Structure 1
Amino acid sequence: MARLSRERVLAAAVALADEAGLDGLSMRKLATELGVVPMALYKHVANKDELLDGIIDAVVSEIDLTPVDGHWKPAIRSRILTARQALLRHPWASGAIESRREPTPAVLAYMDSIIGLFRAGGFGVDEVHHAIHALGSRILGFSQELFDDTPADPDAQEQAAHAMAATFPWLAEMALRVAHDEKTVVGSGCDDQFEFEFALDLLLDGFERLRHAG
């Protein structure tokens, strides 16, 4: 058996979280996965909080931060969509990131790289500050959605939309007309990847107009 190390502990924790979610991740379960007693883990992670910080950094470190040349907009777009791919591989990661009071080192490094791309593109510090606020969590590849993402029966949803038509006509119209995508995670009828890129492109286009306006 390979010698226990911090890297091995974090890799096993990421795998366990991928399988069971954050609620299924505990020091005891992790120790069982590694074939050690729980106390052995504390030589490598001081507590559950440090473990969470470590697995967040393990996931965010999957994002390629290699310096890129060229126009700022495709560079930032590509980096954010790469971050989204990393977080989609680990569905628990967005919630873990939001749960931390302070950004972890890998998150800070990622944010620094995004700011650097804006600055290299000619944006002033104040402009970048506003852009970061506008992007919010989208900068890391995820967004807080308005609609419940719990899977539901399409026929039941259609009936509910018809039932609300008299009271909420515009909402019902949208619910009945949008195209359905069974793999969505942002509510029935929404293609989540399209919606993410649609909003991201709106923001990036707006930042470009801001840049040209000086």
Structure 2
Amino acid sequence: MPAVAATQGRSAGKDPAARRRAGRPSAAVLDKAGITVAALALISRKGYDGLTMAALARSLDVAPSALYNHVSSKDDVLLLVEDHLVEMVDVSGFGAGPWDAAVRRWAWSYREVFAQHTPLIPIIAVLPVANAPKTLAMYEAVTAGFGAAGFPAEKTISAIVALEAFVFGAAYDVTAPADIFDAGTLAAQTPNFTAAVDRLAAEQHPRPADVAFSLGLEALITGFDTLRNR
């Protein structure tokens, strides 16, 4: 009789394991990919200021302690987000065509990706790349491309850092207000600057930020090109 009663209890939906499955998921069902997706969704709704460990746990419907089985801090989450975004950066030109064309493709793509995530830039600029496989894969592709093009190995990382500094700064420029260089009531005191601003405006470029980026990038590529051993 006890065995029959136990069977009837389980058939009535009273199996303890079934009740656990119906509740909050355990930490075991979490993984870094799921945390990354949830973090990006939270950022899209509330911005980077809204990304906290508590908010992320709520969005995943888990206890905050469950998150700490996979990431040790918010910086770890941001590193996951960075790694996800870096995978979107186009490095396919390296090894597939001329070095300068590959650098252009990489830099333009890099800027476009991070122009959508400028609040992340000050954070990732000082985050170590250890344990970020996609970020490391990008750097490996770029470094290999520089090496194959005859760029001095001892200058390669410095060149990449210089390009990244330019790319990250340019990413902010994409979202800058159109009147950022308007001198306002002080225009008469800055005649040369104001005239240059007006001259650029007269060109009526759809995206002035692109003009500035192209100019700076070409200057960097030209300068770096002189260092190559061809």
Tell me which interval the TM-score lies in, with the shorter structure as reference length.
0.7 to 0.9
Match of 1:164 among 186, 191, 200: 186
Match of 1:49 among 61, 70, 75: 75
Per-residue CA distance 1:170-208 (angstroms, 9 max, x = gap): 122223332289xx9xxxxx7223322221111112222
Match of 1:202 among 210, 216, 219: 219
Aligned residue for 1:14? 40
Aligned residue for 2:18? none
Question: How far off is 1:21 after superposition?
Answer: 2.3
Pairwise mapping of residues 1-214 of structure 1 onto structure 2 (< 5 A)?
3-66=29-92, 68-100=95-127, 102-104=128-130, 105=132, 106-138=134-166, 141-143=167-169, 151=177, 160=184, 163-179=185-201, 191-211=208-228
**Which amino acid counterpart does residue 115 of structure 1 have in structure 2?**
T
Q: TM-score, normalised by structure 1?
A: 0.75
Q: What's the C-alpha RMSD, in Å, of the aligned pairs?
A: 3.5
Cα distance change on mapping 1:144 and 1:193 into 2, 3 Å: closer
CA distance in 2 between partners of 1:133 and 1:53 (Å): 18
**Which amino acid counterpart does residue 32 of structure 2 have in structure 1?**
R
**Structure having the higher Rg:** 2
Cα distance change on mapping 1:174 and 1:197 into 2, 3 Å: same
Per-residue CA distance 1:147-168 (angstroms, 9 max, x = gap): 8x7647x5x97570xx323322
Deviation >4 Å, runs of 4+: 64-67, 144-147, 156-159
CA distance in 1 between partners of 2:72 and 2:162 (Å): 36
Per-residue CA distance 1:60-111 (angstroms, 9 max, x = gap): 12334456322111112112222223223434332331242x2353434322
CA distance in 2 between partners of 1:94 and 1:64 (Å): 18
Cα distance change on mapping 1:43 and 1:83 into 2, 3 Å: same
On the 8 A contact 2:112/2:171 being kept in 1, the answer is no
Q: Secondary structure at the match of 2:97?
A: coil
Per-residue CA distance 1:118-146 (angstroms, 9 max, x = gap): 111112224435533542423xx422689
On the 8 A contact 2:111/2:171 being kept in 1, the answer is no
List alignment gaps of at least 5 residues for structure 2. Answer: 1-23
**Which amino acid counterpart does residue 150 of structure 2 have in structure 1?**
G
Task: From the two aligned structures, give the one with the greater helix fraction.
Answer: 2
Q: TM-score, normalised by structure 2?
A: 0.70
On the 8 A contact 2:42/2:56 being kept in 1, the answer is yes
CA distance in 1 between partners of 2:226 and 2:187 (Å): 39
Number of positions where the alignment pairs a residue of Structure 1 with one of Structure 2: 200
**Which amino acid counterpart does residue 30 of structure 1 have in structure 2?**
L
List alignment gaps of at least 5 residues for structure 1. Answer: 185-189
On the 8 A contact 1:72/1:121 being kept in 2, the answer is yes
